[in-house]
Chain A
Amino acid sequence: MKIFELKDVSFAYLGRFPALRAVSLEVRAGEKVAILGANGSGKSTLLRILNGLVFPQTGEVKAFGQPLTENGLDGAFNRFFRSKVALLFQNPDAQLFCPTVFDEVAFGPLQLDLPPEEIHQRVEDLLKLLRLEALRDRSPYELSLGEKKKVAVAAVFSTNPDVLLLDEPTASLDPRSTRTLIDLLVEANEGGKTLVTATHDLHLVPEISDRVYIFSEEKRVAAEGRPEELLADVEQLAKWNLIHLHKHAHQDYWHAHLHEHPSKEHTHNE
C-alpha cells in the first residue's frame, strides 16, 4: 500500500521563498526512507507537507490513498491521520509546549482519548527507555538541547503512530542516546512501522533506510535509489554537498579525503 504519493509538488513560503520545486515521490507501507540534502534543500518542508501541516501551491499530495488538502483534513479523516502519522520537529522548542515533561509525553495519547491507565503506562515506558525519569516533573523549556530532543522523541512515540516522520532525529544527541534511538527506529520498522527520516548523518543512513531520496540545492529530487548505491558514488555526493573534502590528522601525518558532514567517527582504508 502507498502511504504517501506526491506528484509535481511545489511549495513556496509566503508565496515568495521557494522551498520545494516539482517534487514527485512516494512512500510505501513498512518502508524506511531517508531524505538527504544540503541545508535549505527543502527536507523539513517536505516533512511538513507529508504531515498535513502546510499545503503545496501546486501539485498533488495523497495520503493513504486520499487527497491531503486543507479542507480534506477534517473530522474523522483528520483524527485517523493524526493518530497514524507523527512528526518529530527539527526544532524541539517548537514541539514542546506543556508545563512538564510528563504532560508533554502524555499530550498526544490524551488527544486520542486513550484510557488513563494506558497513557500512564506508555509515558512511564518511554521515560524509562530514553532515561528521562529524573526529568519527569521539570519544565521542558529548562532542559538541555539534547534532553529536549529526547522528550520530543518520547512525545512522538507515545501516540504509537504507524508512520514516523523524523526531522534530524539524532541532531544534538549524545552517542548513547543516538544508539538507543536508532535501535528503537529499526525495531519499530521491523514491527511494521514506516519511517521517513531527514538527516545529515550519512553513516546512519544504511541502518535507517532501504531507499534514499537526495534533494538538490535547487530544491528538487536529484536522485533516488538504494543507500548502498547512492552512498558509494563519492563524486555525486560531493556535488550534492553531502560530503566535502576534509583535511585532518592521523597520528603523525595529515591527509585529505572526502568526508561526510558532521565530525563523526569513521575509518579509513588506505
Chain B
Amino acid sequence: MRPAWLVTKMEDLAACPCCTVGVGGKGFVERTLLGIASFFKEAIFSEEIARAPGFLQHLDPRVKLFSFALFLVAASLMKKALPLLGLYLFTLLLASASRITLGFFLKRVFFFIPLFSGLIALPALFLVPGEPLITFFSLGGFTLAITKSGLSSAFFLVLRVATSVSFAVLLVLTTRWPQLLKALRIFKLPQVFVLILGMTHRYLYLLIALIEEMHLAKKSRTIQRDGLRKEQRWVASRIGFLFGKSRRMADEVYQAMISRGFDGEARVLDTFRMTRMDVLWLGLSVLLFVLALWIGGIA
C-alpha cells in the first residue's frame, strides 16, 4: 500500500507574499562552484577555437608541439626581462592570428598564473635583499620591506610564468584533444602518461557535468535558501560523495573504452601532414629560439 501522505494534495505553498520562495540570485558557494565548472568546461573542453580557421589551428600538431616546446625552454632559460617580455608579446600576436580574442585569452592565462606563481613570487617580493621601496616596519635589525630588487624579481617570475602558461594555453586551445594526445605519443611520451592524461580529461568533464546536475537536483528540492555556513557544509559533504561516484564513473568509462578495443594507443582519423607553412614555421621557431637565448642571455 502507498502511504497516504504521498498521494494527498498539500496545502498551497504559492502566493504567500510574506515568504517569497527561493527568489533572488544564486548563493555565493553555488555561484563559485558553478563558475569554476563552466570555466573549466570552456577552457579545456571547448573545441570551438580548435576548429576555427586560424594560424595555429592550421599547423601540423607535431610541428606545433615541437616549436612550443622550444619556446617553453627559452622562456624558462631567459635571464633578461625585456627579451622575455618580447616573447610574451609574441604569444599575444599568435593568439590574435589564431582568432582568439584578447580578452578571452588573457582571462584564461591569468586564471592559471596565481596557481603557479603566486606562491613563489609573493615571498620574493620581501625576501630578495636590496634597496627598500616600501617599508612596512623596522624592528631591531629586521626590516620588512618590499625591495626594489625584490619587486623586479617578482615581476620577472610572474612574467616567466605568464609566458609559459600562455604557450600552454595556446597549444591546448588550438589543438583538438585527440590530436594533441597523438602528437605527444609521437614524441615518445610514455603510453601510460598519455593514457592517464586522456582519461583525466574525460572524467573531469563527467565530473563537471555531475556537479552541475547535483546543483540542479538540490535546487529543485530546496525551498528555503540555506545560509552560507550550511551551504559550505553541503558542498563539503558532496565532495566526499563526488569522490566515490567519480571512482565508479572512472571504472565505467574505462570499461567502455576497453570494450571498444582501446589498448592504450591514441589513434586519430586525420593523418598528420606537413605543409610548406609547417616547414616555414619550424625554421622560424628554431631561429626565434636561438635568438631568444642569445639576446635573453643564458648566463
A→B interface (CB under 8 Å): 48, 51, 53-54, 78-79, 82-83, 86-87, 89, 91, 93-95, 97-100, 103, 106-108, 110-113, 116, 119-120, 137, 139, 141, 155-156, 159
Min C-beta distance of B195 to chain A, whole Å? 12
Decide yes or no: A87 and B259 within 8 Å by CB, A97-B253, A137-B51 being known contacts.
yes
Min C-beta distance of A160 to chain B, whole Å? 12
Our pick among B45, B209, B249, B267 for the contact of A111 (Cβ within 8 Å) is: B267
A82–B256 Cα gap in the complex (Å)? 11
Min C-beta distance of A189 to chain B, whole Å? 21
Contacts of A93 in B (CB 8 A): 206, 209, 249
Report if B223 contacts A (CB, 8 A).
no
Contacts of B206 in A (CB 8 A): 93, 141
Q: Are A111 and B262 in contact (CB under 8 A)?
A: yes
A98–B253 Cα gap in the complex (Å)? 11
Report if B135 contacts A (CB, 8 A).
no
Report if B237 contacts A (CB, 8 A).
no
Q: Are B259 and A82 in contact (CB under 8 A)?
A: yes
Decide yes or no: A108 and B261 within 8 Å by CB, A116-B269, A119-B269 being known contacts.
yes
Q: Say whether chain B's binding surface is mostly helix, strand, loop, or mixed.
A: helix
Min C-beta distance of B176 to chain A, whole Å? 7
Contacts of A89 in B (CB 8 A): 252, 255-256, 259
Report if B215 contacts A (CB, 8 A).
no
Decide yes or no: A48 and B263 within 8 Å by CB, A99-B178, A141-B209 being known contacts.
no
Given contacts A53-B255, A97-B253, A111-B267, 9 further A-B contacts (CB under 8 A): A82-B258, A87-B259, A93-B209, A94-B253, A94-B255, A99-B176, A107-B260, A108-B260, A119-B269
Q: Are A110 and B268 in contact (CB under 8 A)?
A: yes
Interface size on B, residues (CB 8 A): 26
Which residue of B has the minimal Cβ distance to A48? Answer: B255
Min C-beta distance of B80 to chain A, whole Å? 40
| 15 CB-based A-B contacts, threshold 8 Å | A53-B259, A93-B206, A93-B249, A94-B249, A94-B256, A97-B257, A99-B177, A106-B269, A110-B267, A111-B261, A111-B267, A119-B269, A139-B45, A155-B260, A159-B261
B→A interface (CB under 8 Å): 45, 47, 51, 176-178, 202, 205-206, 209, 249, 252-253, 255-263, 267-269, 271
A112–B265 Cα gap in the complex (Å)? 11
A78–B7 Cα gap in the complex (Å)? 53
Which residue of A has the minimal Cβ distance to B210? Answer: A93
Contacts of B176 in A (CB 8 A): 99
Min C-beta distance of B204 to chain A, whole Å? 11
Min C-beta distance of A174 to chain B, whole Å? 22
Contacts of A119 in B (CB 8 A): 269
A87–B255 Cα gap in the complex (Å)? 10
Q: Are A53 and B267 in contact (CB under 8 A)?
A: no
Which residue of A has the minimal Cβ distance to B198? Answer: A97
Decide yes or no: A159 and B260 within 8 Å by CB, A116-B271, A141-B209 being known contacts.
yes
Contacts of A99 in B (CB 8 A): 45, 47, 176-178
Q: Are A94 and B252 in contact (CB under 8 A)?
A: yes
Q: List 6 A-B pairs, minimum CB-CB distance, nearest first.
A: A111-B261, A94-B252, A82-B261, A53-B255, A108-B260, A110-B267
Contacts of B257 in A (CB 8 A): 97
Q: Are A112 and B269 in contact (CB under 8 A)?
A: no
Min C-beta distance of A217 to chain B, whole Å? 20
Q: Which of B47, B253, B256, B267 has the most CB of A within 10 A?
A: B256
Min C-beta distance of B272 to chain A, whole Å? 13
Min C-beta distance of A256 to chain B, whole Å? 15
Which residue of A has the minimal Cβ distance to B258? Answer: A53
Which residue of A has the minimal Cβ distance to B268? Answer: A110
